[in-house]
């Protein structure tokens, strides 16, 4: 196998941070090459350089033996480099065919394009209807649009940026089959992920980045996941400590909750029933858009539920507003960090006051007690190792992982009776994710009930005691995680709840 792309000494510095420092590696023709690293390790900058979105300060690239320095993504595409973005670069109001056409240099006429989309998508097992609006597609279907857009240009190198984070296990299998087929046909694939098991299953070479530098190259099939993780993080990761499994009384009880969807892309909740005991972690899995937002807003009190459906320690709180629910001990950390969990342009102190006022008694005679609020924000920063200049920093200025530690920590330190979190480690690097999971488990062992809504199944398997799947607004009966296999979870997520209903 010969080399398709060679990177030599790529360096890119931004004010205050060197994103890539003398990065060199090469990708084999027809190989599936993994690029591993935590958030902030420089993966994104590196692939943006290859895709022509970022110009390196120093260093050269060679593609197919000749010099390669794309001025913009169009030049990169013309050279045969295509990319599937982590945050989809799709236009919701446009049709599949229009979206595909926008990503091509010389798209054929509308009729030809529609036919070719149909052909290619079926040939690779990713069926798509070219006429549909992207806004109505699921995350998995949207990713197909991105992939088909790339495939129509016969790429020599396909860059995939965290492609599986929004897919169900079955969809991941389909994607992997497609990628393997592509590789057999001679397309090189640069695969970015921090899901180590996936990389071990799919890739035949790996480059590990840390702090902008290459810290290792290996064949992921011959190295254990633990070893990969340690090289990626640079320290030994401790698996979450097991905790005493003693569970107490039911603290949160949701009975036959029905609610209409939040947006037209959401799902209505249908007869959702949940019961969580003190000291227990309930994991709720499912692909986004199946009712997660609806469930979280119903529990947090942002939307009121029909009377009698939600009880906290026996008290009906269905009609209580968020502040009343906080006072009663039900806290929530929503998925969207900037704009929902935290106000982006306000300082950490102010953000601490937003949810902490009631339980931490941060007011005096109706006025905010800024000193106590600042102390509370500092307490969160210290306890959760939030990397920031101090509580006066704006929430927006923190990296995703640090802000996530802050918003989770803010709720955990208020000592809730029940904590509901949605996607607690979405887009967070491995070390921060481990810290957040540990904090949730510690909170459970102190006797709180925890509900974790997540799309990351490995995470749910790791921390939850029981697992339930949310599919089109219906919640399956919960099953002890110890009894579960990935296959069974996949079936539950697909909606086959009642195959063997095992109520815990």
Partner 1 sequence: MDLSSISLTLLIASLMVAATPILLAAIGEMVVERAGVLNLGVEGMMITGAICGFVAGVETGSPWAGFLVAAIGGAAMAALFGFLTQYLLSNQVATGLALTLFGLGLSSLLGQGYVGIKAQTLRRVDLGPLSDLPVVGRIIFGHDPIVYLSLALVAGVWAFLRYSRAGLILRAVGESHDAAHALGYHVRRVRMLAVLFGGACAGLGGAYLSLVRVPQWTEGMTAGAGWIALAIVVFASWRAERVLIGAYLFGGITVLQLNLQTAGARLPVELLSAAPYLVTIVVLVLISGRAGGRANAPADLGKPFHASA
Interface positions with partner 1 (CB under 8 A) = 48, 52-54, 72-74, 76-77, 85, 87-94, 98, 101-103, 107
DSSP state for residue 133 in the 8-state scheme: B
Q: Could you tell me the smallest distance in angstroms from the CB atom of residue 195 to partner 1?
A: 23
Are 400 and 313 in contact by the 8 Å Cβ rule? The answer is no
3-class SS of residue 366 = coil
Our CB check for partner 1 shows the closer of 54 and 252 to be: 54
Q: Could you tell me the smallest distance in angstroms from the CB atom of residue 15 to partner 1?
A: 12
- What pairs with residue 60 in β-bridges? 8
Our CB check for partner 1 shows the closer of 73 and 211 to be: 73
Give the 3-state secondary structure percentages of the chain, helix then strand then coil, rounded to 5.
35, 25, 40
Our CB check for partner 1 shows the closer of 87 and 241 to be: 87
Our CB check for partner 1 shows the closer of 77 and 410 to be: 77
Classify residue 105 as exposed, middle or buried by CB count within 10 Å of its CB (0-12, 13-18, 19+). Answer: exposed
Q: Could you tell me the smallest distance in angstroms from the CB atom of residue 91 to partner 1?
A: 4
Our CB check for partner 1 shows the closer of 102 and 245 to be: 102
Distance CA 429, CA 335 (A): 16
The beta strands (E) that lie in 219-268 are given as: 250-259
Q: Residue 442 half-sphere exposure, CB side, CA atoms within 13 Å?
A: 14
| Closest to 165 (Cα-Cα) out of 237, 90, 88, 93 | 88
Query: Locate tokens 């972690």: which residue?
Result: 281
Our CB check for partner 1 shows the closer of 106 and 238 to be: 106
Distance CA 288, CA 87 (A): 14
Are 502 and 298 in contact by the 8 Å Cβ rule? The answer is no
Backbone angles phi, psi at 254, to 5 degrees: -110, 130
| Closest to 160 (Cα-Cα) out of 40, 58, 23, 33 | 33
H or E element at residue 204: none
Cα–Cα distances (Å) from 287 to 143, 209, 270, 466, in that order, read: 13, 29, 16, 18
Our CB check for partner 1 shows the closer of 52 and 163 to be: 52
Strands 466-471 and 474-475: antiparallel
Are 315 and 251 in contact by the 8 Å Cβ rule? The answer is no
| Closest to 434 (Cα-Cα) out of 446, 421, 425, 444 | 425
**Token pair recorded at residue 278:** 């003190």
Our CB check for partner 1 shows the closer of 48 and 359 to be: 48
Q: Could you tell me the smallest distance in angstroms from the CB atom of residue 93 to partner 1?
A: 5
Our CB check for partner 1 shows the closer of 78 and 304 to be: 78
């Amino acid at each position: 196998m010969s080399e398709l792309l060679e990177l030599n000494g790529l360096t890119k510095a931004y004010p205050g941070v060197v994103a890539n420092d003398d990065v060199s590696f090469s990708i084999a023709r027809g190989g599936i090459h993994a690029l591993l690293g935590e958030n902030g390790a420089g993966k994104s900058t590196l692939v943006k350089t290859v895709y022509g979105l970022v110009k390196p300060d120093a260093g050269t690239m060679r593609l197919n033996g000749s010099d390669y320095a794309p001025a913009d993504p169009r030049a990169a595409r013309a050279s045969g480099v295509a990319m599937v973005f982590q945050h989809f670069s799709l236009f919701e109001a446009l049709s599949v065919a229009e979206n595909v056409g926008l990503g091509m240099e010389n798209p054929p006429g509308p009729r030809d394009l529609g036919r070719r989309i149909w052909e290619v998508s079926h040939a690779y097992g990713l069926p798509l209807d070219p006429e549909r609006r992207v806004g109505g597609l699921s995350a998995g279907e949207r990713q197909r649009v991105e992939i088909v857009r790339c495939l129509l240009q016969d790429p020599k190198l396909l860059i995939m940026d965290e492609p599986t984070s929004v897919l169900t296990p079955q969809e991941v299998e389909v994607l992997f089959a497609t990628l393997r087929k592509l590789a057999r046909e001679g397309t090189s694939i640069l695969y970015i992920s921090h899901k180590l098991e996936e990389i071990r299953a799919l890739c035949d070479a790996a480059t590990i980045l840390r702090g902008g530098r290459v810290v290792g190259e290996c064949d992921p099939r011959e190295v254990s996941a633990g070893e990969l993780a340690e090289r990626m993080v640079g320290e030994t990761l401790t698996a979450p400590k097991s905790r005493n499994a003693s569970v107490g009384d039911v603290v949160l009880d949701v009975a036959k909750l029905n609610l209409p969807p939040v947006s037209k892309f959401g799902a209505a909740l249908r007869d959702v029933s949940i019961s969580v005991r003190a000291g227990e972690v309930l994991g709720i899995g499912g692909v986004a858009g199946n009712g997660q937002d609806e469930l979280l807003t119903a529990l947090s009190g942002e939307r009121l539920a029909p009377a009698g459906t939600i009880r906290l320690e026996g008290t009906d709180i269905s009609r209580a507003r968020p502040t009343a629910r906080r006072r009663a001990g039900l806290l929530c950390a929503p998925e969207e960090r900037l704009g929902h969990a935290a106000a982006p342009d306000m300082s950490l102190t102010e953000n601490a006051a937003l949810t902490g006022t009631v339980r931490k008694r941060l007011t005096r005679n109706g006025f905010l007690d800024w000193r106590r609020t600042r102390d509370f924000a500092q307490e969160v920063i210290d306890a959760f190792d939030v990397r920031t200049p101090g509580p006066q920093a704006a929430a927006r200025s923190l990296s995703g992982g640090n802000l996530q530690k802050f918003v989770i920590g803010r709720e955990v330190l208020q000592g809730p009776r029940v904590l509901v979190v949605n996607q607690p480690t979405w887009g967070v690097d491995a070390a921060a994710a481990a810290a957040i999971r540990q904090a949730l488990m510690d909170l459970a062992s102190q006797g709180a009930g925890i509900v974790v809504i997540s799309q990351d199944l490995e995470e749910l398997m790791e921390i939850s005691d029981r697992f339930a799947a949310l599919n089109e607004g219906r919640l399956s009966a919960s099953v002890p995680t110890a009894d579960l296999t990935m296959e069974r979870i996949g079936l539950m997520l697909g909606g086959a709840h009642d195959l063997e209903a095992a109520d815990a």
